[in-house]
């Protein structure tokens, strides 16, 4: 009886592995560049939120880091073909030290935000895997509005 239970358990695990690998096989590698104010974005992140037309019901929101204007989302953690809400967050990359007078203050290695979140809609398919994103200057951070 023990052997029979183990055999069914192994078959169950193999079926889960098969279903999981099949559902993730449609994921695509995405890469690209991000510019702000004519220069590569020093540091930031890019988020991909699937819309309702994404056929892969296992599609989930995915976030990727941006370093020196470049991002790369491997196929393993990629996105399924379809329409996505894309949001870009950018920072100057200059360390902000913790305030020594505030015990709850912590250092911020991202630095100051360069712009408010820049969002747009983009359609991904197997032919459309490269992105070049130029964040408009009109999308400046609220912190920078005073020096206009």
CA–CA gap between residue 112 and residue 108 (Å, rounded): 9
What is the pLDDT, as a whole number, of residue 98? 84
Total-model pTM: 0.71
Asked if the structure places residue 71 within a domain, the reply is: yes
Domain of 55? 28-141
Asked if the structure places residue 82 within a domain, the reply is: yes
Asked if the structure places residue 63 within a domain, the reply is: yes
What is the pLDDT, as a whole number, of residue 45? 96
- Can you say whether residue 147 is alpha, beta or left, with left for phi > 0 and alpha for psi between -120 and 50 degrees? alpha
Q: Of all residues in the chain, what percent carry a pLDDT higher than 70?
A: 73
Mean pLDDT computed over 138-148 = 50
| Comparison of pLDDT for 89 and 97, the residue scoring more | 89
pLDDT above 50 (res 3): no
- The count of domains in the chain is 1
What is the pLDDT, as a whole number, of residue 58? 66
Asked if the structure places residue 5 within a domain, the reply is: no
Residues 22-75: pLDDT tens digits?
A: 444 588 899 999 999 999 999 999 999 998 876 666 678 899 999 999 999 998
Report which DSSP code applies to 117.
P
CATH number at residue 71: 2.60.40.10
Asked if the structure places residue 109 within a domain, the reply is: yes
Asked if the structure places residue 41 within a domain, the reply is: yes
Asked if the structure places residue 11 within a domain, the reply is: no
């Amino acid at each position: 009886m023990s052997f029979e239970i183990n055999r069914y358990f192994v078959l169950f695990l193999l079926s889960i592995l098969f279903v999981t690998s099949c559902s993730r096989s449609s994921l695509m590698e995405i890469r690209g560049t991000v510019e702000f104010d004519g220069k590569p974005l020093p540091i930031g992140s890019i988020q991909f939120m699937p819309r309702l037309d994404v056929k892969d019901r296992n599609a989930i929101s995915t976030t990727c880091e941006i370093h020196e204007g470049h991002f790369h989302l491997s196929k393993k953690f990629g996105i399924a073909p379809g329409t996505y809400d894309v949001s870009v967050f950018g920072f100057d990359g200059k360390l902000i030290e913790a305030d020594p007078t505030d015990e709850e203050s912590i250092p911020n290695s991202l630095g100051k935000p360069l712009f408010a979140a820049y969002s747009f809609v983009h359609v991904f398919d197997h032919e459309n895997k490269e992105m070049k994103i130029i964040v408009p200057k009109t999308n400046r951070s609220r912190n920078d509005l005073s020096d206009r």
